[in-house]
Every structure is written in C-alpha cells, then in structure tokens.
Structure 1
Amino acid sequence: MLRHTAPLGIGLPPDEELLLDAPDDRLAPALVAAGGGDHGPAAKALAQTREAAEWENRDRAVQRLAAFAAARPEWFEAWQEASPHDPDLLLVKAELAVTRALASPAHAELLREVTPLILAAAESDPRDPVPWRIALDHARGTNAPHTEFEQLWARAVRRSPHHYGCHVAALRYLSAAWYGSHVECFDFAERAAQDALPGSLLKALPARAALAYLTSGAPRTGIPRARLDAAADLAAELSRSYEPADPWPAEVRNLLTCVLVELERWEDALGQLRLIGPYATSFPWDRLTDDPLGHFMELRGQVRLEVAATMPLRGGPAGPDDHYA
C-alpha cells in the first residue's frame, strides 16, 4: 500500500493549491470590488447575464453574491441605496432573504414575509427562470402543498425547460428529507436526465438523488444498487465531456466523487479527483462536516489508500472482480 500510494497521487494538486468554491473569471473581480465596497462590477456582471439570457451563469452568480452580501453587507446596502429598483438587485435581495430564512428554525414564518420580494424579482424580467428557482426553494420552506409546487414548477420550466438550478430546487422539494421519497426523487431525476441536452448538468441529477439516498442515514434497501451505479455512470460520462480542472462542472464532480466513495468505487473516485483538480466545492462535503475543505483533503488520502489496497505487490491495478472483494 505504501509503495503504491505515492504514484497514485500523480495528477492530484497539492493541498496548498486547493480552492474552495472558487468563482469564475467573470465573477471574481466583482467579488473583489464588492469586498472594497464597490457594487458596480457586481451589478454589471449580473446585468450582462440578464441581457444575454445566460440563466445558468446568472443563477450561480446570484447565489454567490447573496452569500457574499450575507457576510459583507456594506456594498449591497450601497447598491440598494443607489438603485433600489434594479432587477438584478431585486433578484439578489430575494435570494438573500430566502437563504437567511431557510437557515432559521422559524423559517416557515419568516419566508411568508419574503413572498413580495420574489414576486418583484419575477416581474422585473418575465423571461428569467431564476426567480422561480428561488420560489421553489421558498415553497419547500413554507410547507407548500404539491399543487402549489407543480404550479411554480410549470412557470419555471416554461421560461427555461432545462434550467439546472430549477431542477435542483424541485429535486430538494421531492426528496425524502422534505415532501417526497427517495423513489419519487429518483424518478424525477432520471426523467430530467433522459430529456437533457448533451453536456447538460442535468445528466448528473440522478447522481444527486443517489447522494441524498446514500447520505440519508436510512437503511439502504429502497433503491437497487444497479440504479445507484447507473446514476454514477451517467454523471461520470458527463464529467468526461468537460476538460480536467474545469471550474464549471466542479460541483457535479465533487458530488459524484462523494457518491462513488459511498459506493466504494475507489478507482472511479480517484479518477474524478484528478478531473476536479484544485476546485473543491462546499457541496456535498458540507452535508458531512463543518470543514468541507479539510474533509476533501482527507478524502483524497483515503481514496488513494483504498485504491492502493486493491493493487498487487508487484504493481498494476487489481482485476475488476477484486474491487468489491
């Protein structure tokens, strides 16, 4: 094991080069400027996503900016004073309010007060699906019945049928942890993946359902192993369609790695760690620990040891039958 562990580290960046939730090249300067109190670059970056109808980029940027505003509110307060009716500001404001409310034990009551913010964001640009992703998160926290969820879902997909963020929000609502079941969650995820465009992150939605099932703490008797492996294989196929160390699919690769570890598919997990490169993401590791980056570092070592344990003394990988020995 010791002999094999070091070579297995080839292709893995050292710990000191790892980045947690690194922003893309367009958003990074906006966050730096916001840290200095200037909201202008953030407003411009979001406006560009709206004007170009880049809804996936817009959703990611809104979530990152809302998280930054929660920690460093000065720039956001200045933005509100300067442009209170800016449609991009309204969207970040709605996301921030929903995120804060969901984190509170009294989330149902707090979320009812947020409804006007979501409606204002939705009315500011009727094309935009992101307010409806926020509305789906809001519905989950307010114990909305399935009929209301289905109405919101219809509005979301009418604006963008393949929007990843809206599908993730719907999957959470349908999960066993909220108002559905593991089977319902898988059925929804598999349908979405089947209808997805080539290269779409929706191909990883079944792996996300698998992650929820495997980390639920419940007995693993409801979903067949073959269905879990198929979900992981589909996400792996998606991962291979992107370049190594690409920040865009980083979260999908991180969640896939977690699924592969839970399934004890160690060599496949090592392959994903190499594709991840330096781009660790808080999700899914924050489901397991309060130190996502530290856990990610430890996991890389664990996976290398597990792969080394399957290798014969004279080198070379073990045969396929040895992986589940």
Structure 2
Amino acid sequence: MAFLSSRRRRARLAPELDDVALKRLLKSLQATTSTGTIATTDLCTAQISRLLDQETVDWDRRTHQLSVLAFSLSESHVPRAWATREPGNVSALVLFAWAHLVRGRSQGNLEDADAIAKSCFRAAELAPADPTPWVVLLGLARLERRNQSEVFGLWNEVLNRDRWNREAYLSMLGYLGPEEMGSRIQVLDFVDAVRARTPENAACAATELTAQVLQYHSVLTLGGVEALMARKHWTHATAAQALDRAAGNWARPDFFQHAAALADLNLLAYALMAAERRGEARPVFEAIGGTVTAWPWRVDGDPLSEFERARARATNGL
C-alpha cells in the first residue's frame, strides 16, 4: 500500500522528533564521537554549543534538546570534557549532569551524585531563569528516593521557571507511582490536580494519558488472566474519559506546539489501539507520519515493528 511504502512515512525511531537542527547534530555527533581525539571533542562541543546557547531561549525546546542529547551522550566522554573545559557554560554543566544521571539510571546506581548536584546548582547560579538544572535535580532526587517534601520543592523550582515543563510533570508522575515513592491514590490525586489547572494544549497535557498507559502496563505485567483482560482497562470511566479528551483534540493541525508533541501523539495512537478504537487512531497515525518513539511501543516488543503493525491495523481496519 502507498501509505506503508511511502518514504516520507516510513517508520523510524527518532528521539529528536521533528527538531531538524537536533537531528542534524545527532547525526554529526554519531559520526565523530567514536574517535575520542581532542579535536573531535572540540568539534562536538562547538556543535552542541551552537544549538543550545541561543540568545532567545525556548525553555520547552531547550529541555527537549538537552534530554535527547543527555541520552545520546550518556556513555560518551564529551559532556564531562565540555563541563571541565568550560565550567562557566550553563549548557555544558547541565548536559554533563543530565548525561551522568541517565547513565546512573540505566546502571541502577550513581557513580557520583554530588557531582551531578554541584553541576546543577552552579548552572542555576549562573542562569537563575533556566529550569533545566532543576529538572535534573528533580530527576536526581527521584532516583535517590528522597522524601516528598524535598521532591515537591524541586518540582516547584522548575514550575516557577517553566510552568508547564513536560519533563518535570512526567518525572513527578513516576515518583508518585507505587513502583517508586507513592501509591495509586497519589497518582490519581496528582493527575486530577494537573488536569484541573492545565490548558488542554500545554506541554504537560499528556500527564493524564501517560498515567493511564502506565496503569494499563501494570496490569499487563501481572500476566495470566489479568493480562488477557487488560484491554478492559480502557472501558473504565477515568481511562475512557482521558482517552476521549486526548482523541478529540491532539491530532488537530497546530493544536500542540511543544517540542515533544509527536511523542504525545505516539502515546495517543498506542492507547487508542490498545482500546480497540482503531477509527480514531487512523488520523493520529497520519499526524505522526513515521516518527516513532521507543516508549510506549517497546513494551510489547520491537517498537518499530509494533508501531508498523498497529498502523497497518488502524489503516486497514483489521
């Protein structure tokens, strides 16, 4: 079918989403970081600096770019080398701290939590309006299972600088879940409070649907009969209403303007297919094109294969 064979719509994992400048940078970094030479490090840091150190700052876009770069460079020497070489560069300090945090999360332990905190506090001192040092500190506190008063304090520091910071809301959602330091009741209370005060097209608008997908996944992980019946999750009033609100608006042209909009559309397409609402999923897949996010598709297997299979089912009505 033309829909599936089109080069423009061919599915690909794209952590940068639709950020063209970030995509170019990631390709360049991938081609050059393997050598490990001093000249290569200089080239990489110069390229990263050109992207991040803009005179006019979009905090939402900056958070997205730093997050993607931190994941991409978590095993690279570049962030540390840049922060060491330019200790007064806020972007270098935050990228080093975030990449270090990502590596610690993937390994299950932090090599140097103090270095992350010191780097973030120094960045916050140099750039008081920048929310990203506080986003990383929030992630650090979450990983270290700090008490809720401290974590909420860090969350408020982010919100004081970027009211609808998507990364911060999703981090709090994870922290308040039963798998970390909260409970299902706390998640529901948090989601209710967020929904009551958040514009429908805010960068953090996917918080509610993310909570429902996480709950759906928790049922799947039980296995057995529970997993076989997991689809019924989407018939419950709170889940169905969350899906209704998202399906009615998110795929509309220009409804979302934030940097991770395509990630939220991936989430919506996944949830609609899990709920067997294939007709509503079709325009969402059209809006996505072929830009695939690893989560939530990877929960069921290879994310690209799962995305392609779901898109074909929505398109063909199978």
Deviations 1:179-227 (A, max 9, x none): 2223322332232233223521322211011111001135669997111
- Amino acid aligned to 1:96: A
Match of residue 103, structure 1, among 99, 102, 106: 106
Between the aligned partners of 1:237 and 1:166, the Cα distance in structure 2 is 25
Secondary structure at 2:107 match in 1? coil
Shift of 1:251: 0.4
Shift of 1:277: 0.7
Aligned to 1:233: 244
Shift of the 166–41 alpha-carbon distance from structure 1 to 2, 3 Å rule, reads same
Aligned to 2:202: 200
Kept after mapping to 1: 8 A contact 2:98/2:116 = no
Shift of the 178–13 alpha-carbon distance from structure 1 to 2, 3 Å rule, reads farther
- Check if 1:88 corresponds to 2:88: no
Aligned to 2:36: none
Deviations 1:271-315 (A, max 9, x none): 3212211111112223343x322222233234446x23xxxxxxx
**May I ask how many residue pairs the two structures share in their alignment?**
295
Q: Which runs of 5+ in 2 are unaligned?
A: 33-39
Shift of the 242–154 alpha-carbon distance from structure 1 to 2, 3 Å rule, reads same
Aligned to 1:271: 283
Kept after mapping to 2: 8 A contact 1:183/1:222 = no
Match of residue 308, structure 2, among 297, 303, 309: 297
Aligned to 1:283: 295
- Which has the higher Rg, Structure 1 or Structure 2? 1
- Percent of counterpart pairs with the same letter? 22
Shift of 1:93: 0.5
Shift of 1:243: 4.8
Between the aligned partners of 1:138 and 1:195, the Cα distance in structure 2 is 26
Shift of the 231–100 alpha-carbon distance from structure 1 to 2, 3 Å rule, reads same
Match of residue 63, structure 1, among 67, 72, 80: 67
Q: Which runs of 5+ in 1 are unaligned?
A: 1-5, 309-325
TM-score with structure 1 setting the length = 0.79
Kept after mapping to 1: 8 A contact 2:13/2:292 = yes
- Amino acid aligned to 1:92: L
Kept after mapping to 1: 8 A contact 2:176/2:183 = yes
Kept after mapping to 2: 8 A contact 1:190/1:205 = no
Kept after mapping to 2: 8 A contact 1:94/1:114 = yes
Between the aligned partners of 2:239 and 2:112, the Cα distance in structure 1 is 37
Aligned to 1:215: 217
TM-score with structure 2 setting the length = 0.81
Aligned to 2:14: 21
Q: Once structures 1 and 2 are overlaid, which stretch shifts more, 38-47 or 245-254?
A: 245-254
Shift of 1:231: 1.1
Kept after mapping to 2: 8 A contact 1:214/1:262 = no
